[in-house]
Structure 1
Amino acid sequence: MGFLQLLKSQFLSHLFICYVFLLSGLIVNLLQLCTLPLWLVSKQLARRINIRLCYCIASQLVATLEWWSGTECTLYTDPKSYPLYGKENAIVVLNHSFEIDFLCGWTFCDRFGVLGSSKVLAKKELAYVPVIGWMWYFLEIVFCKRKWEEDRTTVTQSLQNLKDYPEHFWFLLFCEGTRFTPKKHQISMQVAQSKGLPKLKYHLLPRTKGFWVTVQNLRGTAAAVYDSTLNFRDNEVPTLLGVLNGKKYHADLYVRRIPLESIPEDEAECSAWLHKLYQEKLHYLLYFTVHCPFSNNVIFVVCKLLEFLFRSNLCLTLLMCDVIVSKISFIVVNRTLHAYNFLFQGKRKVQVFKLYKSVTNCILDCG
């Protein structure tokens, strides 16, 4: 194990990455909060600002996958469809089989300039989670309670709000609803058998209502559905902990563009279409296991140096702001406690606080 790999596997390295992400994320959340009055003046300007702010958070996760872990994400697609990516609104249908498939999906978005404006269908509870959840709230992410009777109106309204969105966006959908596990797969296939639906070896049964509602409400807004099938070479089982430890994975993403007008408008026909799509995904994965990679239509889309420098400088700037704020806050608290000790405790010193101060100064000096 080399020195760099050893460094990446250390807990202090992980702690530093999380520290930068959380604190810079909270600063971005605060800036997003400051845009609230702007919504009353210029909704579109507020949206554009929030797209850039959201990119500041999401790009850190993508950079961790690509630059820290060194994971390679290879795109396979039709060369005729490639020029359209990033230049149109689209619904991206991804398989939900791995811990980091959302990171690979975001990498796909980042390559074509829509990471800051990418959307998902997320649980309502996530809206209350600091950094990511708050970022999504200002990005107008579609939240749902997974109770269709309650979700129908709110999801429809949220999707309709995207019709006048000022920049191109991709709406990422995990139609399986949850990540693949053997137990979930067994239950899902029992449901498929009871409904007379074909069994899927590598996927859960797709949930068709959410897909149909999304397609119906984004007709005229989104131009296509990007059927995206993700797999990892050599039977790799990627994990978030592996990414933090700097382990390199090899992801292959097969994407085909399907014009939205070719998808049936009738709910029953649309459901049948989606089930057929997942059967085709199964064939792609079976082909992959034998003929890895997917096909000869491979396109390497590398991260540009300018983008990397932007991310690095941005994170460092946010970190420095956080350090300055933390230092000022520490001084204020320190002086307050000294005053308290002088007035009420004589001139006794709090040894625990002195120890905290020395550790804090050490961290700040190292940072």
Structure 2
Amino acid sequence: MDSGELRQRRPATTTSSKVDEGHPAGPIKHGGSKQGILMVLFGLYFFTCSLLIFSTQLLGLPLYLWNKAYYYRWMAWTKEHFALVLIFMTELWSPTIMRVYGDKSVEGQLKQTSDGRLETTFSPRMVMIANHQIYTDWIYLWWMAYANKVHGYIYIMLKRSLQFIPVIGQGMTLYGFVFMDRKWANDEKRMRRRLEQLNAQVAPGKTTLNPMWFLMFPEGTNLSFNGRNGSAKWASKSGEQDLKHCLLPRSKGLLFTLRQLDKSVDHVYDCTMAYEGVPPGEYGQDVFTLRSTYFEGRPPKSVSLHWRRFPMSSIPLHPLPTDDIGPDAEAKAEKRFYNWLMDRWREKDALMDRYMTHGSFNANDDGDVERFLADHPPQSEDGYQFDFPAQDMKVVETAVKPAAPYEFVQILLPALAVSFVVQRLVYGWRLVVAWLTLIQMLRDLEQTAEALRLAVGVGVY
């Protein structure tokens, strides 16, 4: 990092004090003492559950040597447990309204149950891309996987530094998450190996591939002051116009991923995420901090998710037969995919602009599509017709919550099972020791009797 970048970094206190003057979630709801109690309870809850789940993961490690299918199912089971930890954590410490939208491509795939929960019927195997607003984005996307009953089969691409967090990092490694150095020479080998595994994992006794939701944030980082500057520099370097509400995406890793999964995945799902109340010119990470979200009682009033689905067959991934053979053909293919991704991100930026203006993804103004397309003519040739959501489009309004409170017991089951087994083993060992002691006593008694018989010259029987 050069000195110019250092001078551009905004002090955290500047943003915090500015935001606190009128926080979108209102005044602080919990005083200092209650915040302290909430912090302690939060820490005990999260780290106790994490240790229990990590212990369960370790118990399943020997399965890898015996049967990999059972090993992957075991790890998926523990991943389901961690999803429940996040869901209960959100429900208890940071309850918020979730609004889930979708365009025509996901029509019929978003449903609301009689008790108000969200249920989805998205593809069981897909690549999921999203803009990156705040560090909590992945929690809400994991909750979406829970609504689709594939929360044990989500895979996330993360910064490599997270792998070294004690317990948490090792647990995520066992989950099969992909950790990136942001150095392509290192990342390519790691990604190729992991994606090859995901192309081959099957359930025990079956030949079909396991479900898989592979989550990527093409922007590479969350929206922040430094991220905004980085996007502006990339725009200047690449000749692109910078975006207003999103960061410019990078295409290399996503293109590599889609090519590797081309034969086993049918769709890419795109999610546009927005948090209610982030003031213009500010950033969600500075408004909804860990403290305000979980301890001050000021989580986002609502989080909105807008979904689109793209068939893999519609995405330009490979060189065309008409391209020249050689490096130029690959360069043309990469450019076509880059244009496709940029079109999607410009549309995403327009959706975000709609949200920032009206507080909703639903359309309000006539002619918006025409104006957008006039200002941002498509660069790709995939034929996709962008449209804003209609005002009468059904929106699922719900909350992050489990299907039933007793689901939490699943997290404790492995520990209870191990405790029961250990108790039985201890009881059995004590029983064996008691029998061995009794046998030894009888032998000692027999030897004593034999000694007395020899001493007095008469039998004791």
Residue by residue over 1:209-237, the C-alpha shift from the partner in whole angstroms, topping out at 9 and shown as x without a partner, is 11111111111222211111111223373
**One-letter amino acid of the structure 2 residue matched with residue 80 of structure 1:** E
* CA distance in structure 1 between the partners assigned to 2:136 and 2:315 by the alignment: 29
Per the alignment, in what secondary structure is the counterpart of residue 199 of structure 2? helix
RMSD: 2.9
* CA distance in structure 1 between the partners assigned to 2:416 and 2:97 by the alignment: 30
1:69 is aligned to 2:94: yes
| Residue 119 to residue 92, structure 1, CA distance change in 2 (3 Å) | same
Aligned residues: 322
Q: Check the 8 A contact 1:100/1:238 in 2, yes or no.
A: no
Mapping of 1:1-367 within 5 angstroms? 9-78=34-103, 80=107, 82=109, 85-166=121-202, 167-235=210-278, 237-245=287-295, 246-249=297-300, 250-265=302-317, 266-295=333-362, 296-300=393-397, 306-311=403-408, 313-314=409-410
Per the alignment, in what secondary structure is the counterpart of residue 78 of structure 2? helix
Residue by residue over 1:73-113, the C-alpha shift from the partner in whole angstroms, topping out at 9 and shown as x without a partner, is 21101352616734421111111122322222222222212
Residue by residue over 1:116-166, the C-alpha shift from the partner in whole angstroms, topping out at 9 and shown as x without a partner, is 221111223322323432222112112222110121122111111101234
| Structure-1-length-normalised TM-score | 0.79
Structure 1 position 243, deviation (Å): 2.5
**One-letter amino acid of the structure 1 residue matched with residue 155 of structure 2:** K
* CA distance in structure 2 between the partners assigned to 1:86 and 1:114 by the alignment: 10
| Residue 279 to residue 305, structure 1, CA distance change in 2 (3 Å) | closer
Higher helix share: 1
Q: Check the 8 A contact 2:131/2:218 in 1, yes or no.
A: yes
Residue by residue over 1:309-335, the C-alpha shift from the partner in whole angstroms, topping out at 9 and shown as x without a partner, is 212x345678989999xxxxxxxxxxx
- Identical counterparts, % of pairs: 26
Aligned to 2:19: none
Q: Which has the larger radius of gyration?
A: 2
Q: List runs of 5+ in structure 2 lacking aligned partners.
A: 1-25, 111-119, 203-209, 280-286, 318-332, 363-392, 421-461
Q: List runs of 5+ in structure 1 lacking aligned partners.
A: 325-367
Q: Check the 8 A contact 2:95/2:400 in 1, yes or no.
A: no
| Structure-2-length-normalised TM-score | 0.64
| Residue 323 to residue 289, structure 1, CA distance change in 2 (3 Å) | farther
**One-letter amino acid of the structure 2 residue matched with residue 284 of structure 1:** L
* CA distance in structure 2 between the partners assigned to 1:224 and 1:175 by the alignment: 16
Structure 1 position 251, deviation (Å): 0.3
* CA distance in structure 2 between the partners assigned to 1:307 and 1:90 by the alignment: 27
| Residue 200 to residue 224, structure 1, CA distance change in 2 (3 Å) | same
| Residue 227 to residue 8, structure 1, CA distance change in 2 (3 Å) | farther
Q: Check the 8 A contact 1:66/1:72 in 2, yes or no.
A: no
* CA distance in structure 2 between the partners assigned to 1:256 and 1:81 by the alignment: 12
Per the alignment, in what secondary structure is the counterpart of residue 220 of structure 1? coil
